[in-house]
Amino acid sequence: MISVDARPQQISQPIKGSEAFRLEYNPTIPEKALYNDIISYLGEYRFQVQKYQYKLFYTLGTSAAIEDSQAIGLHIRGEEKGKSLLAIGKKGIEDRRERGLVTQKVVADYLGMQQMEKQIAEANDGDTIMYASPADSEEGYAYGFFYIGHVVVEEGQEHILDNSKKEKHLEMTAIRLESHQDLDRYNTAVKLLTGENPKFSTVNQFIAHPKRVQRKISMQEIDFVMKGIFDFAMDSKRQKDFAKVIQSMSPYIQEFINLVKSGASHAVLEPAFYALENYALELQAKPEIVPEVPMRRENAGVHMQPNLAGLVQTHGYEPPKATGSCGSTSKKNKLGSTDLYGQGSLWEGEINKLSSNELDSESESDGFECPNCHVGRVKGNECPHCHITAEKWVEMHPELACV
């Protein structure tokens, strides 16, 4: 998927249904976060949208979001400015481990978010932060993404001398790349846009290394590189059709959000979401007949009357399977979502602290959880994440050490 969401930490029941869109939300989830999830899911999985714009915020969280040390202070957050993406990422790692799923990519996402936070803390207004996410053929994904973020210092922060203490946001653009997924092309694109010369040999290494460029790279320059390397060309009709369909479906989407907020059961939510998907597919097939926002006349006036329950009666069956950056839409998919933040394998970063073998080996579950950071998997004498050694940990916690 290609928008930030709060799904991993919102899950309050066993995960069911599509792995690409999880229905077990806590009713306290902000409406904006859920709306972004739905739109980005339909955009990637059902409309193959080529460009998607959204925002990330480097800001203080709301009082309700301050639940652990990773949420306190300035952190990267979604548009609802709730929990930090680091807190979401840590919860997502724990979730996958509890379910017995592989965690290489989500751990990379988590470590990379730490690196990206350092980059935006140091960044000036107008800087560019970017990273690539090539197609992962091993997990069945035939397309990749390039993510571009332009740094904007929030108004009223200019007087703060310490750049790392300024609130900022990223104007993000996700670019879907469907042709030429060989990694050499991605290396070349990164080189042309950053001036560096990466020689990444795995998908995770690309995901792991966001780049900061100390200037605003224009979209014209980015499109020029994407066209030259990947034969990327915008299909403006596809973008317009998607916007038109979403506008038409907005009352149904809002009613679905209301169901989630009311605490509706999975048995109610699953066919309701299926109805949204199938209706979107129907409108996609015939965009020329997309209706205006559905209305019904009541008494003397005209009022918007979405009827999602009625749509479920005609469209509430399981839709065709599709595969994307967050896994398959099939309920039987065993891979599970590999994307913590809804970004198609996002923000990765200090992976240089991990060896390629540790990132890409299927034996990544070997070793034990680091007792210091609770993220790294220690296979020897040093945690690959926080780099604490066994000797140093014993010095810090002699009362817990085995003697």
**DSSP character string of 192-211:** HHHS------SHHHHHH--E
Q: How confident is the model at residue 315 (pLDDT cuts 50, 70, 90)?
A: very high
Q: Is the pLDDT of residue 94 over 70?
A: yes
Question: Which residues touch 118 (CB under 8 Å, ≥6 apart)?
Answer: none
**How do residues 96-116 score in pLDDT, each as one tens digit?**
888 888 887 787 778 778 889
Q: What's residue 295's pLDDT?
A: 46
**How do residues 341-351 score in pLDDT, each as one tens digit?**
333 322 222 22
Q: What sign has the CA pseudo-torsion 233, 236, 237, 239?
A: positive
Q: Is residue 68 part of a domain?
A: yes
**Highest mean pLDDT pick, 253-262, 381-390, 394-403:** 253-262
| CA–CA distance, 339 with 106 (Å, rounded to integer) | 6
Q: How many CB atoms lie within 10 A of CB 322?
A: 17
Question: Domain range spanning residue 371?
Answer: 366-403
**How do residues 208-247 score in pLDDT, each as one tens digit?**
889 999 999 999 999 999 999 999 988 888 888 888 888 8
Per-chain mean pLDDT for the chain: 75
Q: Is residue 186 part of a domain?
A: yes
**How do residues 257-307 score in pLDDT, each as one tens digit?**
999 999 998 889 999 999 999 999 998 888 776 776 554 444 444 444 558
Q: How many CB atoms lie within 10 A of CB 364?
A: 17
Q: Is residue 134 part of a domain?
A: yes
How many structural domains compose the chain? 2
Q: How many CA atoms lie within 13 A of 127 on its CB side?
A: 19
Q: What's residue 86's pLDDT?
A: 85
Q: Is residue 293 part of a domain?
A: no
Are both 106 and 166 inside the same structural domain?
A: yes
Sheet holding 211-213, edge to edge: 75-77, 51-59, 168-177, 144-153, 128-133, 211-213
Q: Phi/psi zone of residue 58: left (φ > 0), alpha (ψ -120 to 50 degrees), beta?
A: beta
Are both 67 and 34 inside the same structural domain?
A: yes
Q: What's residue 303's pLDDT?
A: 45
